Amino acid sequence: MIHSVYFWLDENLTDDEKREFAEEGLKALTTIDVVASGEYGAPAPTAARPVTDHSFDFALFLRFAGIEDQNAYQTHPEHEVFVKRFSPWFREVKVYDTAFA
């Protein structure tokens, strides 16, 4: 399964704080032991289209072997550290979990 998370950050954050969020926060989540693989990034500079949303600041994509690992991730101490440290910086968060056939 894929756990996709989109973050809209506080507009008052500095470039250094945004870099810290990505390099210290999101990167750490990709290394949690129950995560099979993970990536993160900012919106791609693709053409504007009615179906394309470039409004988010960062996206995180984590692959799990199954729902059990995803459930373990949600209560993992490193995930809890991330939420405690960075949630004050969130303006909005959207999560899309996808199971594959």
Q: Please, which residues bridge with residue 62 across strands?
A: 3, 38
Domain borders along the chain are 2-44+55-67+74-96
End-to-end CA, the chain: 9
pLDDT band at 41 (very low <50, low <70, confident <90, very high): very high
Q: List, for residues 48-90, the tens digit of each pLDDT value.
A: 999 999 999 999 999 999 999 999 999 999 999 999 999 999 9
Give the H/E segment covering residue 14: none
pLDDT band at 40 (very low <50, low <70, confident <90, very high): very high
Q: Which residues of 34-64 are buried (b: 16+ CB within 10 A; e: fewer)?
A: bbeebebeeeeeeeeeeeeeeebbbbbbbbb
The pLDDT value given to residue 62 = 98
- Decide if pLDDT at 101 tops 90: no
Helices (H) and strands (E) in the chain, counts: 4, 4
Fold classified for 2-44+55-67+74-96: Alpha-Beta Plaits (3.30.70)
